[in-house]
Structure 1
Amino acid sequence: MRIKILLVFLAISSVCKAQYSFSGYTNPEEWDRSVYLSIVEDYRKMSGVYSEQIIAKTVADSTGYFEFKGNILDNENRIYRIHVDRCSDIQQEINHFNGHCSDSEALLFIAKNTDSLKLPFSFEDQVFCQIESNNPKASAFIKIDSLKNDMRFAYGEFRSEANRKLNNKKWFKTLQNFGESLDEPLAELYIYTYLSDRSSDLHSYYVEDLKRNNYYDNLKLRLQNTYPNATYTKQYINELEADRYMLAAANGKYAYNNWSFLLYAFLGLSVLTNIYFFYQSWKRNSSKIEELKSKLSKQEQVVLEHLLLDKTNKDIAEALFLSVSTVKTHTNNIYKKLNVQSRDDTKSLFNK
């Protein structure tokens, strides 16, 4: 009987422990107390902050301590991000939508549902610079970022074209080899994303390397063996096939007649022209909006953002910890400075 009770107790204990715990500290005097946990399912969106990736939010206490815990994560390793920022709720809706939140601090890490993760202050109380975890793969991204910092130093030592070319060749292989040595395909994807970025100086080396190096097929096999059901694996396979198709087309394996080429060139030029005119129109409109906002005080600009979201005076007062009469005063000042008579006029002014 005692043995049965012991077995039941051990079973219950193992179930209770089958949950994740991610905790750490932020500086409450420097950052907003809101802390976000995201899952990164598209490895091209590791850099930045995207609202569709956020899976949990918590609020740090007065000391800056926060914790995420539960049992809803995958049982296999996945890529996660914890981030803090100084954006207001309105700014978050805008910034998180396009992936850019310049006033933020983030950490990428690898974890699964049973992992514990602690993020202590380090390096003169900077946040998210150190990881303590029971998962040995958790800190792979920090190791890669540290190597990339060494690379930036090497580039900056001599700012010449010759030095940059030499460093491009050296660091392309250095990063690739380092990723393979980590024995973690997700870490290799982090490096692959950087090396194959079309906006990077290293992209030309990636194109040449793809022609003759079997590394990329080996990485595909490692992903298929380790993460057969992860979105990263399918995404990588699709990208690899697309890049090789474009290489083959560039080498003349796919013939296009002259008329098709001219047609595509014309269509491309047409699209670029439309984009140019659209950009010019957007630029003029943005300039006009900034000019209008410059007439308002900082507090009035914040109230304006709430007005444009159709919030009532009471809602605005509660959100900004102001009295309703103060909100009305700010609203009247906004109308007067913008030379409008109502909320509808104001919205019409900013939606032109």
Structure 2
Amino acid sequence: MPTRILFFLICFTILKSQGQYRFDGQINLDEGKTVYLSYIEDYRKLSRIYMDQIIRKTEVDSLGRFSFKGSNLPEENRIYRLHLDGCDMEPKPNPHILGVCDFSQSILFIANNTDTLNFSKSANGQTFCQIASTNPSSDNLQEIEFLKEEMIVDFNDFNSEANKKINSEKWFTSLQEFGIGLNEPLAELFVYDFLSDRRNETYPYYLKNLNANPYYDDLLNRLKNKYPETNYTRLYENEIALDRQIASGKGTMFFTGKWILAFILMLSILLNLYLLLQRKKSKATAKKGILEKLTYQEQKIVSEILKEKTNKEIATDLFISVSTVKTHINNLYKKLNVSKREDIKGLFENQN
């Protein structure tokens, strides 16, 4: 048995027993010095690097070797990305556009918390080209990438509707059957993400295929069986439900009606808030106008009346005689055009 394979198996046995992962490899030093590990829960975010997916980073040594190890990853298979950032981070803190560096290289793979993976360079020195792993699913996404490249060549031979139709039928079947054969639903999601992408030539055929082909429901069942409480399964289930509405012609109407109702509701809420604020503003202005008619002592009398105090209690609180209180109240009746204390209360309470 070759020494490298023996060493790899020993590492796998040790790490497996400890419940730890180890991802290591070697890169070309002229391509960068930092390697990032990302954890991807949304299969619609596989096409490029998203900064909010990064969970760890490491610096390479003088020979370009790097290593990630620990025990903090999920026990089940998940999709991960290693990427090498070749951008010069100085002097700008973030030279990327939409999270992508033109000089970045990356690789997608499947792994879990007990896996040992080695990312070796190819014979011509290409980084992230080969995966040696204790997990048979780790290189599934790479295998699918090779098939996708063949498919793209077929589509580019002739840019005609007949060619698109023939190749769509051929490659939908080929890719879906290949995914089933891998026995890994996450790899099938990688295929689904590509075939159902609205930007691809495959999207019109996907909508036709969605309701006619039992494959999509079968994939949902496989996801529910193997990854029941994950974002992968929830996102896929929601997407095929919405896409089926679009495929049947109800999707556009659904979204149009939904957004019209939402807009009307929001407009109604904003209008009510505006009217409420205007009413409060109007009442505050009216109250201020009434108070401006009164002297300072009369305003104090009004305040005491609103507290349900008698003439005697008002006189005691304001250190004036009861007759003076009565005089002020009579003046209030004239200024406010009312005839009793209850009218004063009603007038000011309605303004609060």
What interval of TM-score do these two structures reach, taking the shorter chain for normalisation? 0.5 to 0.7
Trace 1:39-58 onto structure 2 (pairs within 5 A): 39-58=39-58
TM-score, length-normalised on structure 2? Answer: 0.64
Q: SS at 1:55's partner residue? A: strand
1:63 offset after TM fit, Å?
1.1
**Given the superposition, is the C-alpha separation of residues 92 and 168 from structure 1 closer, same or farther in structure 2, using an over 3 Å criterion?**
farther
**Given the superposition, is the C-alpha separation of residues 177 and 16 from structure 1 closer, same or farther in structure 2, using an over 3 Å criterion?**
closer
Q: Is the contact between residue 49 and residue 99 of structure 1 (CA under 8 Å) also seen in structure 2? A: yes
1:165 offset after TM fit, Å?
3.6
Distance 2:131 2:74 in 1: 20
> Once structures 1 and 2 are overlaid, which stretch shifts more, 98-107 or 215-224?
98-107
Distance 2:216 2:143 in 1: 21
TM-score, length-normalised on structure 1? Answer: 0.64
Distance 2:53 2:253 in 1: 39
1:18 maps to amino acid: G
1:107-130 deviations in Å (ceiling 9; x for gaps): 000000000000111141111111
Q: Is the contact between residue 43 and residue 190 of structure 1 (CA under 8 Å) also seen in structure 2? A: yes
Structure-1 residue corresponding to 2:337 = none
Q: Is the contact between residue 15 and residue 114 of structure 2 (CA under 8 Å) also seen in structure 1? A: no
Q: Is the contact between residue 35 and residue 58 of structure 2 (CA under 8 Å) also seen in structure 1? A: yes
**Given the superposition, is the C-alpha separation of residues 63 and 227 from structure 1 closer, same or farther in structure 2, using an over 3 Å criterion?**
same
Structure-1 residue corresponding to 2:320 = none
1:152 offset after TM fit, Å?
2.4
1:282-301 deviations in Å (ceiling 9; x for gaps): xxxxxxxxxxxxxxxxxxxx
Distance 1:138 1:201 in 2: 28
Structure-2 residue corresponding to 1:173 = 173
Highest Rg: 1 or 2?
2
Trace 1:175-324 onto structure 2 (pairs within 5 A): 175-250=175-250
Q: Is the contact between residue 110 and residue 138 of structure 1 (CA under 8 Å) also seen in structure 2? A: yes
Structure-2 residue corresponding to 1:76 = 76
Structure-1 residue corresponding to 2:21 = 20
2:23 maps to amino acid: F
Structure-2 residue corresponding to 1:139 = 139
Q: SS at 1:68's partner residue? A: strand
**Given the superposition, is the C-alpha separation of residues 253 and 103 from structure 1 closer, same or farther in structure 2, using an over 3 Å criterion?**
closer
Distance 1:53 1:150 in 2: 29
1:87 offset after TM fit, Å?
1.4
1:163 offset after TM fit, Å?
3.1
Distance 1:130 1:15 in 2: 22
**Given the superposition, is the C-alpha separation of residues 226 and 121 from structure 1 closer, same or farther in structure 2, using an over 3 Å criterion?**
same
Distance 2:95 2:42 in 1: 20
Trace 1:117-132 onto structure 2 (pairs within 5 A): 117-132=117-132
Distance 2:32 2:237 in 1: 39
Q: Which runs of 5+ in 2 are unaligned?
A: 1-13, 265-352
Q: Is the contact between residue 87 and residue 95 of structure 2 (CA under 8 Å) also seen in structure 1? A: no
1:142-175 deviations in Å (ceiling 9; x for gaps): 0000111222232344455543442233212211
